[in-house]
A and B are shown apart, each in its own frame.
Chain A
């Protein structure tokens, strides 16, 4: 299993699009940091604002430790979804597209084991990409705004550097897991298609549709069950809240999606006639 895992990790690492994706996740936090340094947000009284991640951006210049959170917030709403769906959607469909799947499956390995390995590889790269946003943001943020705690008694925030680092680690896990249901959908499509673009775009489409439906309040409580509804809940960690509430809901709501989509993927792939 370890040898198979190593070969799959290597194969994904050598894909040009993996490097493009990883370059994007490193570049965007740096660009955000430069933008905030050159043009800091107005933190004066009465500057509420309801834009995406706006609260985090207004706080970001207080400490370099908040830059990665702001970068993760803005990226987890689209770029990170596309990147994680790419890793999941590539898993089987890219092999089929190259025509290499039929050779791989003439090795004495069970399909379930191969698929498990590919799922692990997708998870490792997805989690790795999320972590790289935070690491890049952390380095750029600390260089630009310093390494110090955040104390804002007016808004009830009093975070030590240790606490902020702990929250960043937790944010990586929660943000990546918040995309797990959509990624599992990409993975399922990947087992059914011979073209990874189809699996990736299908999953991104699923994300967009559930996000739009989740924003329509007249739909009622049904939207709370969408995999995207609580995706950004982790950002409350940086606005004075502790772990709980919507963050728990985000954890739990992903589970059935992951189980059902991945389960269908395994079922399908084990029965599939390999004709590509």
Chain B
């Protein structure tokens, strides 16, 4: 039996009266590329820090490969991490940073499979330069190389494209996708929905420290299918669409309408509108995961307000 790489059980963390993580539970199975999705301040980073033993939980526990995590736990040998932006000893060059990081764990650098890690990062001769001369994108790539030392089974990345320009973002995402394709289990936190959609097979949605939803990205997207329409008579279009079977809700989002679909298709929407004599200017699908995410987090917000009332 293969131990589950990541198991988070009823995990909580409070800083004074602020509850950063609130009874969070989820797991990541071997081979999955799981996105931990949530708005800024949702508690993603805190959860990941607890997962690798940097922060002590107030309640609950985290397990890596079936073993409870404590600071410096032995199972960390099977994990590569990049928590927030990649940081290094600035006055040392890239390769020295990798060597010191690896040897600090008592391992021989010769056993770190460094050539493979460097090939993935693609830093070339820059690896011999001092890290303080690197761009943020180069640091992130060196961070990914560091996480790959020793060919770990699990990779934990926290907002890996934060602070990067679009070109660097694309390069880092491609890098993570390539690593995932090699068979690593990946847990990646992000507040960028398209990133999770592009890179991940599974996702866990968090908000205000709580678990909101989990499943495959396809399942989450299906739960939030919607269309955006712009018409010449929004108020009549709202009535027409709301009456249509397979439409869950119609939300005014000026200048258009967002139609939450529960079986209806976009051509059916257009046919109904044209049939009612309403001019249709635009029909597009909304960004699928974005819509799902907003729906899920919106429900959580409503529930939170309801509980507080």
Contacts and interface: CB of A to CB of B under 8 A. Distances in A.
A52 interface: no
Interface stretch (B47-55, B196-204, B300-308): B47-55
A103 B146 contact: yes
Nearest to A6: B103
Question: Taking chain B's interface residues, is the majority helix, strand, or loop, or is none over half, making it mixed?
Answer: loop
B71 A111 contact: yes
A180 B106 CA distance: 29
Contacts of A4: 103-104, 106
A10 B101 CA distance: 12
B54 A106 contact: yes
Interface stretch (B81-89, B179-187, B226-234, B260-268): B81-89
A194 to B, nearest CB: 12
Contacts of B89: 11, 14, 95, 98, 100
B55 A275 contact: yes
B85 A99 contact: yes
Contacts of A3: 103-104, 106-108
B52 A7 contact: no
A14 B91 contact: yes
Contact of B53 (A14, A105, A114): A105
Interface in B67-107: 71-77, 79, 81, 83-92, 96, 99-107
A108 interface: yes
B71 A103 contact: no
A110 to B, nearest CB: 4
A275 B71 contact: no
Interface range on chain B (Cβ under 8 Å from partner): 35 or more
B54 A273 contact: yes
A16 interface: yes
A252 interface: no
Contacts of A104: 101, 104
A37 interface: no
Interface string A184-204: 000000000000000000000
B23 interface: no
B101 A273 contact: no
Contacts, number: 98
Contacts of A111: 71-72
Contacts of B77: 108
B173 interface: no
B146 A107 contact: no
Contacts of B287: none
B306 to A, nearest CB: 32
Contacts of A7: 99-100, 103-104
Nearest to A104: B104
B182 to A, nearest CB: 21
B56 interface: yes
A246 to B, nearest CB: 41
Contact of B105 (A10, A99, A108): A108
Interface in A81-98: 95, 98
B90 A98 contact: yes
A148 B148 CA distance: 61
B74 A108 contact: yes
A105 B101 contact: no
Contacts of B81: 103, 106
A14 B97 CA distance: 12
A11 B92 contact: yes
A30 B183 CA distance: 62
A119 to B, nearest CB: 15
B104 A100 contact: no
A15 interface: yes
Contacts of A107: 72, 76, 101-102, 104-105
Nearest to B158: A102
Interface in A1-50: 1, 3-4, 6-8, 10-11, 14-16
Nearest to A112: B72
Q: Which are the 4 A-B pairs with shortest beta-carbon distances?
A: A99-B87, A107-B105, A274-B54, A110-B72
Interface of B: 49, 52-56, 71-77, 79, 81, 83-92, 96, 99-108, 146
21 contacts: A6-B103, A8-B104, A14-B96, A16-B91, A95-B89, A98-B87, A98-B89, A103-B83, A103-B88, A104-B104, A106-B54, A106-B76, A106-B83, A108-B74, A108-B75, A108-B76, A110-B72, A114-B72, A114-B104, A270-B71, A273-B54
Interface of A: 1, 3-4, 6-8, 10-11, 14-16, 95, 98-100, 102-111, 113-114, 270-271, 273-275
